[in-house]
A and B are shown apart, each in its own frame.
Chain A
Amino acid sequence: MKTVEEINEKIKKGKALVLTAEEIIDFVDQKGTKKAAEAVDVVTTGTFGPMCSSGAYFNVGHSKPRIKIGGGKAYLNDVPVYTGFAAVDILLGATAVPDDDPRNAVFPGKFAYGGGHVIEELLSGKEVRLTATAYGTDCYPRKKLETRITLDDMNEAVLFNPRNCYQNYNVAVNLSDRPLYTYMGVLQPRLGNANYSSAGQLSPLLCDPFYRTTGVGTRIFLGGGTGYVAWQGTQHSPCVPRTDLGVPKVSAGTIAVIGDLKQMDPRWLRGTSFRGYGVTLTVGIGVPIPILDEETVVQAAVRDEDIVAQVVDYSETYPQRESGSLAEVSYAQLKTGEISLDEKKVPTASFSSYAMAREIAGILKDWIQKGQFLLTECVQRLPSSDSGIVFKGLQEKPIRFKKAV
């Protein structure tokens, strides 16, 4: 049994043994879990996939004369931002699109540019256009603002993502007779392809299935810089069916993450366009797992063949919020490029880049080995499988208007 504090001491002395979530698999194979738990100090994970619940908030500084953007309207490169905060604090969501984007008026829409792309451009050092209109007050008299602005010009720029790092996800297929344009990509008719989106054995929460070490305050690789787990993510749903190893068989836990955008890298935060669906942000995240005991090493060494996902029809089952899985497949099968469904060979593709997840786990390993990145003990654990959390659908209720007296 080790503590995070002890592991940090070893990291500072350059004596910590750090392996990626791929490397630990071979290590455990050769040495066994008991020896691995003693020898290994940290396992690094990684994931790089589209994560729609992402965004950033900015303090753009006060103009002279002052303007109260709060309660007004504002745009970054024509992408609308949320202004319901103080005078010059704005929030940009990854999925926001310019007001004049045709969206799906001509189907399938291209969605060439949106909030995710603005974040990537700001990180690349580019100037963006900040435009705002306000109602004007005695203390904030100005009603209109048009300026170029860079990330350096801003006081604060903070990436804050209410939901990232989904612990497992559906494999999307299409049983209908027409192509579907979804957030899981273009799905060809009659089981023409199967798209998935997880780094499997490298994915942070699949290596820590009960959130033993990943919790509020955990320091992480975020977008090429460092960030923190802020809270459980939205739709965090830990009470789901699990394998014997405790790995969720369906989408389950999530994390909300936060970090200083200014120290991040556009290589790891990419504006993303899904034809016929919309824009989003692809986010690189790596979470270190301190190897405290045998249990943590067993869980961190999970392999693709031991992680399963559900094949879901996106022509009917998903959009109608029905339940039902067509099949259960492992990530080892998905990664071969082909799965068998209804006696048909269906080509597979991923929207989460395994190659870049591997790179992230390697970078985080390097940072820790060099003593540049110390682990944190989480200050509050995330709700786990014993929390009783129920992931609710929306029950619509008719709105009754009061009669005028």
Chain B
Amino acid sequence: MTTTKVVLRFPPDLTDQPVTYNLIKEYDLMVNILRGHIIPKEEGMLVLEVTGKKKQLQRGMDYLAKIGVETQKLSKDIRWLKDLCTHCTACTSLCPTHALSVERDTMLVSFEKADCIACEMCVTVCPYSAMEVQV
């Protein structure tokens, strides 16, 4: 059995499709949803932990690619460039796992890398390019 974490990005026309159900039913995969953000008729995002036989896992990924779901393995690392951070806290309210958080007494931001699921939300919102994707 192999386990992998993967980010799925859905185009608007697929957000109402039972994609997760198909992964479980048709490809015999165990799916644990770590994070989801789906608005019907708009782009959606799911972070999944998927466990299954290697071959089934590959077939599942092929299925996703075929129907137009963009997949990205969580092999990416998000790096916090502390020297560039101004501790404005803009990233902290959007970080789904609170990997980025504020120590309220000091109002300083900190980054707990182990909790990061590489959704890249912080990369989008940081005004100072202090969050970086390392491939």
Contacts and interface: CB of A to CB of B under 8 A. Distances in A.
Given A270-B128, A355-B108, A358-B107, A349 B93 contact: yes
Contacts of A50: 127
Given A178-B42, A335-B104, A356 B87 contact: yes
A352 B129 CA distance: 16
A349 B92 contact: yes
Task: Describe B's contact surface by its main secondary structure.
Answer: loop
Given A193-B94, A273-B129, 6 more contacts: A50-B127, A272-B127, A275-B124, A336-B104, A337-B102, A354-B87
Interface in B6-58: 39, 42
A354 B107 contact: yes
A273 B91 CA distance: 14
Interface string B98-113: 0000101011110000
Interface of A: 48-50, 112, 177-178, 185-186, 188-189, 193-195, 270, 272-275, 282, 335-337, 347-356, 358
Interface of B: 39, 42, 86-94, 102, 104, 106-109, 124-125, 127-129
B58 to A, nearest CB: 33
Given A48-B86, A353-B86, A337 B125 contact: no
26 contacts: A48-B86, A185-B90, A185-B125, A186-B94, A186-B125, A189-B39, A194-B93, A195-B90, A272-B127, A273-B128, A282-B127, A337-B92, A347-B93, A347-B94, A348-B93, A349-B88, A349-B89, A349-B90, A349-B92, A351-B90, A353-B87, A355-B87, A355-B107, A355-B108, A355-B109, A356-B86
Given A273-B129, A274-B127, A358-B107, A353 B88 contact: yes
Contacts of B87: 353-356
Nearest to A189: B39
A335 B93 contact: no
Contacts of B90: 185, 195, 349-351
A94 to B, nearest CB: 12
A177 B104 contact: no
Nearest to B126: A273
A352 B89 CA distance: 8
* Nearest 9 pairs of A and B residues by beta carbon: A347-B93, A349-B93, A354-B107, A355-B87, A272-B127, A353-B88, A353-B86, A193-B93, A355-B107
